[in-house]
Structure 1
């Protein structure tokens, strides 16, 4: 039986709605964000999860807790390696300020290659990619016997993980969307769905 990772991006937040960069900073889910997570919860309620992990950021923990209302026997574990990319001095500032300073497509491609030097006050791409890879490696090792596992994280971090398994993409994942990855014995990984959004929320960074 393969290990199936259900990768869910957190629900839409106030910073998402305002177009503010949100990496290590945080903001609450909006009403639409809560509704989007509820739709995703209904979409996943029949999945027999064996474990659940989340970034320790409150927006991810809140999202995971709401999803797990349908799975009361599953205890949530947090892993700091699942945190979002740090935007450094650009945290909580308008996205357009960053995009005026750098080409976002080039920046994120370099982040996903581990070659990005980092934004002022932020973390280098290599350090970021290492922590993301380590977090997912630990999850895979803990569940080598297979089964469905929930992982709630962030837009850039989930794309970074996909890049590490050979699925490079810079297409934003919608809030509360679901991506599934089957991991077979021997390490073969297959992305079986990408960015499925039951409530069709809007995709923005962070």
Structure 2
């Protein structure tokens, strides 16, 4: 095999804004005690996985989650802007319960193909897909084999997992295998590329596993 990688995708731990029902996007808020504990439980669950590298977005909630998972292990840790959460522009920091009444917000959640991010001046799903997949492609170019930890965000990971499974950014929310991801859930994806292939393939093995978080409530 030219390349054989196993990605462990983890959504960041629960934060203050998650608790308050505020939309985060590329805004940020600190992990709460439950988020820290969830990250530490994830680290304990993955303690025997020999990671060759760890990656996170540049947002502090993802970086902190990754550091709690890594713990005392000597794992090279990098940040990549391409793994950042979907930019929601002017909606960031607003109550999700209020935003649900907004027609364009409803379009974002139900009709990603036609969501243009006009009123909030954030990102479209097409823009998110392009930069997130570029980040994954760059990671693949660096590593030839081994296990890689990636800590990112709800919208970004949901879209990536659906793309790996053959969906498009336009119809990714219709993929029944990829559901809304819980905080510090684990999704495992294999990437394989043969010597004579110009591009490889992704295989979803596990999506949104929370067995290691059984003592935590998830919203």
**Same fold by TM-score greater than 0.5:** yes
Q: Which runs of 4+ in 1 moved over 6 A?
A: none
Flag the structure with larger Rg. Answer: 2
Q: CA deviation at 1:55?
A: 0.3
In structure 2, the gaps of 5 or more residues are 195-199
- List gaps (5 residues or longer) in structure 1: none
What residue number does 1:181 align with?
Answer: 189
Q: Which residue of 1 aligns with 2:32?
A: 30
8 Å CA contact 1:172–1:203 kept in 2: the answer is no
SS at match of 1:161: helix
**Cα distance in 2 between the residues matched to 1:196 and 1:105:** 27
After TM superposition, list the pairs within 5 Å mapping 1:124-143 onto structure 2: 124-143=124-143
Q: CA RMSD in A?
A: 2.0
* Residues 110 and 131 of structure 1: CA distance in aligned 2, closer, same or farther (over 3 Å): farther
- Cα distance between partner residues in 2 of 1:81 and 1:202: 29
Write the distance in 1 (CA, Å) between the matches of 2:49 and 2:137: 22
Q: Distance in 2 between matches of 1:192 and 1:202?
A: 24
For the residue of structure 2 that corresponds to 1:151, the secondary structure is strand
Q: May I ask how many residue pairs the two structures share in their alignment?
A: 200
| Partner in structure 2 of residue 79 of structure 1 | 80
Aligned residue runs from structure 1 range 113-192, under 5 A: 115-118=114-117, 119-143=119-143, 145-165=144-164, 166=166, 168=172, 169=175, 171-186=179-194, 187-192=200-205
| Structure-1 residue corresponding to 2:12 | 10
Contact kept, 8 Å, 2:56 with 2:83, in 1: the verdict is yes
- TM-score norm. by structure 1 comes to 0.89
C-alpha contact 1:180 1:192 (8 A) present in aligned 2: yes
Q: CA deviation at 1:110?
A: 4.3
